[in-house]
Amino acid sequence: MAKTRQQKEQIVSSLSDKLSVAKSAVVSSVTKLSVNDDCMLRSKMFENNVSYEVVPKTLLKRALEKANLDVLDITDARGNITVAISEDEVLAAKTVHEFSKEHDGISVLGGYLEKSLVDGGKIKALAGLPSKEELIAKTVWTIKGPLSGIANVLAGPTRSLVYALNAIKETKS
């Protein structure tokens, strides 16, 4: 069923609002995905709190223009055009890229990072970065490592004294 002009304007308005506040967006082309695969992709997007929509090319171009973003060249793209929008810099790219490794029906065309246009190669490189939580965990581990070493070094003489006293106790009993 064809969409009315009012529905199309609502789609453009909604998409441009999401794009204007998003930290990252990934535009991809979907050609050969089964319904089960599409449901699985949407489920992963939902779990990762990523907005995922299938958008006609002309409406996407209008939404990008309305959001004051450079228009991505999607004229030669085949299949359905999808947009994954996230408030996290890496999450949308990582989710789409991981899914595209497992399924041939989806290919990354490009995207946006902090309102700047980036190509598909940079999106794939961005997907290789660890998430914010992983970076925080690595930082905490890096800080904790030397502190644990210092604690062990300082506890060493006390531990040796306890072992020596225990050995004396066992020899006397």
Residue ranges of domains in the chain: 5-129, 130-173
Q: Kindly provide the residue ranges of all beta strands, DSSP E only, lying in 14-78, ordered along the sequence.
A: 24-30, 51-55
On the 0-12 / 13-18 / 19+ scale of CB atoms within 10 A, 119 is: middle
The gap from C-alpha 111 to its chain's centroid, in whole angstroms, comes to 13
Q: Is 103 strand, coil or helix? A: coil
Reply yes or no on whether the pLDDT at 1 is more than 70: no
Is 6 strand, coil or helix?
helix
Decide if pLDDT at 142 tops 70.
yes
Q: Would you tell me which CATH number, out of the four given (3.40.50.10680, 3.30.70.1730, 1.10.3720.10, 3.40.50.20), belongs to the domain 5-129?
A: 3.30.70.1730
Predicted TM-score of the model (pTM): 0.71
Which amino acid would we find at residue 74?
I
pLDDT for the residue 46: 92
pLDDT of 122 strictly over 80:
yes
Give the residue with greater pLDDT, 21 vs 131.
Answer: 21
